[in-house]
């Protein structure tokens, strides 16, 4: 089963270059941690990334984009930021995941992904999309991303209280992904989803390996004031069978005044916890 296969071995089961590179760097750096950096100033953004670089495998980058309320984040976004971000990604050997959560019709997402101010496809190795429009959103994004060697994650579930992404919706997300394995490299979800959308068990083709990336991970608190819900790295990786823990405020704190030493200590703590849970899972 996928659960007892190492990240390094699993790299061979992906044809998508972003998935391969991600699994390989995870193995190489002994890290299944993705750091989410939701801060609004370029300087803070870059200094957090530089600080956690040695500890994270994937920085979830928030470059603000045209439409979504979610990316009201970096106020001083410019080309220089993208350049520096890419330099850091080489320096620290991480991939960039723009959590853009595309959700529009194929024609619009093609434009949003390739162009606009942020030109996400030109720098983000991985991005994600809501499956709500149906398979056309994946086709649209693939037409831009595949030639560039990019990968897509589908949002099958969310970490928030009362999320509508469950049941048949989640099943359908998995179903869509299975038809586009060249581009869809995994899911944002809260569990392995074995059996969901016929993804798992005997129905699984050997090559059919999806990564599960999971936000809502924290060691200190169980949630925030706005519906976020946290689980521990151990619960997420060992019990729920997810592959990558996404951690934000648990690592860099709450504001733009970055405490580098504290950020590094927490990043290492989450990396260790996530990796330990993964090693325990392999032994099961
Ligand atoms: N995020 C979630 N939940 C989700 C999805 C994305 O928290 O279901 I999809 C994002 C939002 C934030 C990060 O950037 O993951 C989690 O940050 P905190 O660890 O600070 O809550």
| Segment 233-255, tens digit of pLDDT | 999 999 999 999 999 889 888 76
Give me the catalytic one of 20, 99, 172, 209: 99
Could you list the beta-strand ranges (E) of 140-268: 151-155, 184-188, 211-214, 244-247
Task: Extract the tokens encoding 155.
Answer: 């949002």
The annotation places the binding site at: 38, 159, 228, 248-249
The annotation places the binding site for substrate at: 38, 159, 228, 248-249
Q: How many CA atoms are closer than 13 Å to the CA of 66, on its beta-carbon side?
A: 13
* pLDDT at res. 88: 86
* pLDDT at res. 58: 67
Task: Let me know if 99 is a catalytic residue.
Answer: yes
> Between these two residues, 261 and 128, which has the higher pLDDT value?
128
**Does 72 have pLDDT greater than 60?**
no
**Does 62 have pLDDT greater than 70?**
no
* pLDDT at res. 114: 97
What is the reported pTM?
0.92
> Between these two residues, 122 and 253, which has the higher pLDDT value?
122
> Between these two residues, 46 and 113, which has the higher pLDDT value?
113
Cα angle 217, 179, 4; round to 5: 45
**Does 76 have pLDDT greater than 50?**
yes
* pLDDT at res. 65: 22
With pLDDT > 70 as the criterion, what percentage of the chain qualifies?
89
Q: Is 50 exposed, middle or buried (0-12, 13-18, 19+ CB in 10 A)?
A: middle
Q: Who contacts 171 (Cβ-Cβ below 8 Å, separation ≥6)?
A: 196, 197
**Does 61 have pLDDT greater than 60?**
no
Which atom from ligand 1 is nearest to the alpha carbon of 230? 21
246, 250, 269: residue to mutate for ligand 1 pocket, most atoms within 8 A of CB: 246
Nearest-CA residue for ligand 1 atom 11 is 215
Nearest-CA residue for ligand 1 atom 8 is 158
- Residue 154 has φ and ψ, to the nearest 5°, of -100, 140
pLDDT confidence tier of residue 70, bands split at 50, 70 and 90: very low
Average pLDDT along the chain: 88
Nearest-CA residue for ligand 1 atom 9 is 158
> How far is Cα 215 from Cα 34, in angstroms, rounded to an integer?
9
* pLDDT at res. 200: 55
- In 3-state terms, what secondary structure has residue 243? coil
């Amino acid at each position: 089963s996928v659960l007892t296969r190492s990240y390094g071995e699993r790299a061979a089961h992906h044809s998508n270059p972003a998935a391969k590179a991600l699994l390989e760097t995870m193995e190489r750096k002994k890290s299944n941690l993705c750091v989410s950096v939701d801060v609004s100033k370029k300087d803070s953004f870059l200094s957090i990334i530089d600080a956690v670089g040695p500890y994270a495998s994937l920085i979830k980058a928030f470059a603000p984009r045209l439409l979504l309320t979610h990316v009201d984040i970096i106020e001083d976004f410019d080309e220089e930021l993208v350049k520096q971000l890419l330099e850091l990604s080489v320096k620290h050997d991480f991939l960039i995941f723009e959590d853009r959560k595309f959700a529009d019709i194929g024609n619009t997402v093609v434009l949003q992904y390739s162009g606009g101010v942020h030109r996400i496809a030109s720098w983000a190795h991985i991005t994600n999309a809501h499956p709500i429009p149906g398979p056309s959103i994946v086709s649209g994004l693939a037409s831009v991303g595949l030639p560039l060697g990019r990968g897509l994650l589908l949002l099958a579930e969310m970490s928030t209280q009362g999320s509508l992404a469950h049941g048949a919706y989640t099943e359908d997300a998995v179903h869509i992904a299975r038809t586009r394995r060249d581009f869809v490299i995994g899911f944002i979800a809260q569990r392995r989803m074995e059996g969901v959308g016929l993804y798992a068990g005997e129905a699984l083709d050997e090559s059919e390996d999806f990564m599960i990336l999971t936000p809502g991970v924290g060691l200190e608190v169980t949630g925030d004031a706005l519906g976020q819900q946290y689980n521990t790295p151990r619960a997420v990786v060992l019990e729920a069978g997810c592959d990558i823990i996404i951690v934000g405020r648990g690592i860099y704190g709450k504001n733009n005044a970055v405490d580098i030493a504290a950020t590094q200590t927490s990043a290492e703590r989450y990396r260790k916890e996530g990796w330990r849970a993964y090693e325990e899972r392999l032994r099961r």
